[in-house]
């Protein structure tokens, strides 16, 4: 079964609203074993929306439209489907009654439903109603020359509930392809091209399972997908390939699917009963914010210092004035003293520090924007790493945070007790 998604709304086309519905539907169609070939977004224009729908009907077996089912003039989905399929609009009396009852219940007996709301009871002739368990206006599905056109509202919670209760069973009844099992492998500290070279023979000869690489802010995700008669059989096909990929890049592999690096780091710290303190300059507390997003972080995170000024570095962490004068705040020497100082002051197992120039100003020929030093102090050793990031101020902060977590994770692998 081939599918196409159409999202209707000028606000989506202009980027005023992020289209989360298409992402949800794409994932769920894959879980149902439906091959999604195209996704289209069109504004609230009757003629252009018809063109998109007609093309979709020619190309796909299942077309799902989201948005445009409200009562206002720019809600055009009913009209679009009616004109594109040459099915006139008819009023569904039971839906109209439900809308009137809902309006009376909400606003009182003395208030009648506005006339424009009657529009929500209109459906292309031959439509099957899709109940809305969490909202007022229902959607519909319509068979056209062996194709299925589904219209769902743009409100995410309504769309998701309607898909799960009505559309998913409908897909099963109409003969979907085999379900798709998906496993994501997460890597850090290795570039996408380097990992692709390492896995080149696997990528070149992929069939089922398929292999795809995706890079995002210092991390690489390897997506494995396999179609089979069941999800369980799909994962059985994936497992040998998964094990081989992890074996080849074991030093950079940190987790599966939605696991974040901070979650893996937190789990290691908690399991080993290690404690941590932070000293942040250019990241402005972002490392602490990231770690404390993990539930249970109070079990390892003792405290964090944001020491932006030289005076703060001296007074709060014991960084020597001579070190600052001789080497500057952005230096390996200061990073080391920050990490060792915060560990000593808090009596923790690990002290993690970062200092750098996030930009866009403040750089020099010797110390350009993007220069960052990260240091980790623990019993018997202090590590310092130097980075020169490209990008915006926010990107420098994000990449520094990830690098700091990577350093901590890499160190924990060799120092963990359990």
Percent of the chain with pLDDT over 90: 84
CA distance 268 to 297: 11
- Residue 242: CB partners within 8 Å, gap ≥ 6? 183, 185, 224
- Summarised one tens digit per residue, pLDDT across range 351-386 is 999 999 999 999 999 999 999 999 999 998 999 999
**Per-residue pLDDT for 176 more than 60?**
no
| pLDDT band for position 62 (cuts 50, 70, 90) | very high
| pLDDT band for position 32 (cuts 50, 70, 90) | confident
**Per-residue pLDDT for 239 more than 80?**
yes
- Summarised one tens digit per residue, pLDDT across range 383-401 is 999 999 999 999 999 999 9
- Summarised one tens digit per residue, pLDDT across range 98-128 is 888 888 888 877 778 889 889 999 999 999 9
Cα 3–chain centre separation: 23
Phi, psi values for residue 254, rounded to 5°: -125, -15
CA distance 348 to 350: 5
Neighbouring C-beta atoms of residue 20, cutoff 10 Å = 12
pLDDT at 175: 56
Distances (CA, A) of 86 to 44, 64, 69, 79, 195: 20, 18, 18, 10, 52
pLDDT at 177: 60
pLDDT at 174: 65
pLDDT at 111: 75
Neighbouring C-beta atoms of residue 46, cutoff 10 Å = 12
| Mean pLDDT across the chain | 94
What is the average per-residue pLDDT within 264-289?
97
Q: Taken in order 308, 313, 315, 316, is the CA torsion positive or negative?
A: positive
> What are the structural domains, with CATH classification, of the chain?
2-173 (3.40.980.10), 180-256 (3.30.70.2860), 261-415 (3.90.950.20)
| pLDDT band for position 171 (cuts 50, 70, 90) | confident
- Summarised one tens digit per residue, pLDDT across range 177-225 is 677 788 999 999 999 999 999 999 999 999 999 999 999 888 999 999 9
- Summarised one tens digit per residue, pLDDT across range 138-168 is 999 999 988 999 999 999 999 999 999 999 8
CA distance 5 to 37: 9
What is the average per-residue pLDDT within 265-292?
98
CA distance 314 to 69: 62
**Residues paired with residue 386 on neighbouring β-strands, in sequence order:** 373
CA distance 206 to 203: 5
Ranges 95-109, 217-231, 268-282: which has the least confidence: 95-109
pLDDT at 301: 98
pTM of the model: 0.75
pLDDT at 230: 84
For residues 365-384, one letter each, b for 16 or more C-beta atoms within 10 angstroms of the residue's C-beta and e for the rest, the string is eebebbbbbbbbbbeeebbb
Ranges 82-86, 135-139, 217-221, 274-278: which has the least confidence: 135-139
């Amino acid at each position: 079964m081939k599918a196409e998604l159409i999202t209707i709304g000028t606000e989506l086309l202009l980027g005023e609203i992020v289209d989360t519905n298409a992402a949800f539907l794409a994932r769920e169609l894959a879980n149902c074993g439906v091959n999604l070939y195209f996704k289209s977004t069109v504004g609230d224009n009757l003629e252009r929306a018809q063109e998109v729908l007609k093309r979709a009907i020619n190309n796909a077996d299942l077309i799902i439209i989201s948005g445009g089912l409200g009562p206002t003039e720019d809600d055009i989905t009913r009209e679009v489907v009616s004109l594109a399929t040459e099915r006139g609009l008819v009023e569904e009396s039971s839906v109209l009654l439900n809308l009137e009852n809902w309006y009376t219940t909400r606003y009182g007996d003395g208030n009648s439903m506005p006339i424009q709301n009657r529009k929500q009871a209109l459906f292309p002739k031959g439509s099957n109603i899709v109940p809305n368990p969490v909202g007022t206006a229902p959607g519909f599905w319509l068979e056209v020359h062996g194709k299925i056109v589904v219209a769902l509202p743009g409100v995410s919670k309504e769309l998701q509930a309607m898909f799960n209760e009505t559309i998913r069973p409908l897909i099963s009844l109409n003969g979907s392809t085999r379900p798709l099992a998906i496993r994501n492998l997460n890597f850090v500290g290795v570039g996408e091209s380097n990992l692709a070279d390492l896995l080149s023979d696997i990528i070149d000869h992929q069939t089922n399972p398929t292999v795809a690489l995706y890079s995002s802010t210092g991390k690489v995700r390897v997506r494995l997908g396999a179609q089979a008669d069941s999800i369980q059989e799909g994962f059985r096909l994936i497992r040998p390939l998964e094990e081989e990929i992890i074996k080849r890049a074991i030093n950079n592999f940190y987790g599966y699917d939605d696991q974040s690096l901070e979650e893996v780091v937190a789990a290691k710290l908690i399991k080993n009963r290690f404690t941590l303190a932070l000293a942040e300059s250019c990241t402005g507390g972002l490392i602490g914010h990231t770690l404390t997003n993990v539930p249970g972080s109070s079990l390892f995170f003792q405290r964090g210092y944001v020491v932006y000024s030289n005076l703060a570095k001296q007074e709060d962490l014991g960084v020597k004035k001579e070190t600052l004068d001789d080497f500057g705040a952005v230096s390996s020497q200061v990073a080391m003293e920050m990490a060792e100082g915060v560990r000593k002051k808090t009596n923790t197992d690990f002290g993690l520090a970062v200092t750098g120039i996030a930009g866009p100003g403040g750089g020099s020929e010797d110390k350009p924007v993007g220069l960052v030093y990260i240091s980790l102090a623990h019993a018997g050793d202090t590590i310092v790493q130097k980075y020169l990031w490209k990008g915006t101020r926010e990107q420098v902060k994000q990449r520094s945070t990830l690098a700091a977590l990577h350093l901590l994770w890499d160190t924990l692998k060799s120092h963990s007790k359990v």
